[in-house]
Amino acid sequence: MKGDIKKMLGLFLFIMVFTTGYGQGSQKFKVVLDAGHGGKDYGASYGGYIEKNIVLDVALKVGKILEKESDIEVIYTRKTDVFIELKDRPMIANKADANLFVSIHCNAEAKRTAHGAETFIMGLTKNASNLEVAKKENAVVDLEDNKEVYKNFDPNNPETLIAIKLMQEAYRQESFEAAVAVQQGFTSGLKRNDRGVKDAPFWVLHGIAMPGILIEMGFISYKSEGAYLNSDKGKKDMAESIAKSIIKYKKEHFSSGGSSLVKTAPKSNDNDSVKTTPQPAKNGAVFKVQISASTTDLATTPSNFKGLNNISKLKDGKMVRYYYGEVSDYNEAKNLLSEAKDKGYKDAFLVAFKDGKKISVSEALK
CA 168 from chain centre, in angstroms, equals 9
CA 172 – CA 253 distance, rounded (Å): 13
Considering only CA atoms, which of 239, 258, 252 is closest in space to residue 29?
A: 258
pLDDT in tens, the chain (366 residues): 445 544 544 444 444 434 433 343 447 999 999 999 999 999 999 999 999 999 999 999 999 999 999 999 999 999 999 999 888 898 899 889 899 999 999 999 999 999 999 999 987 654 444 445 444 444 444 444 554 554 554 545 555 545 555 555 567 778 888 999 999 999 989 999 999 998 877 878 877 888 999 999 999 999 999 999 999 999 999 999 999 999 999 987 775 543 333 333 333 333 333 333 445 555 688 999 988 887 788 899 999 899 999 999 988 777 788 999 999 988 898 899 889 989 988 778 888 888 888 887 767 776
Question: Which residues pair with residue 289 across a beta bridge?
Answer: 324, 350
- Contact status, residue 141 vs residue 147, Cβ threshold 8 Å: yes
Neighbours of 239 (CB within 10 A): 22
pTM score, whole prediction: 0.64
Neighbours of 19 (CB within 10 A): 24
Q: What integer pLDDT is reported at residue 22 of this predicted model?
A: 38
Q: What integer pLDDT is reported at residue 17 of this predicted model?
A: 39
User: 256: buried, middle or exposed (CB in 10 Å: 19+, 13-18, 0-12)?
Assistant: exposed
CA 184 – CA 197 distance, rounded (Å): 10
Q: What integer pLDDT is reported at residue 15 of this predicted model?
A: 44
Strands (E), 176-334: 194-200, 212-219, 254-255, 258-259, 286-294, 311-316, 319-327
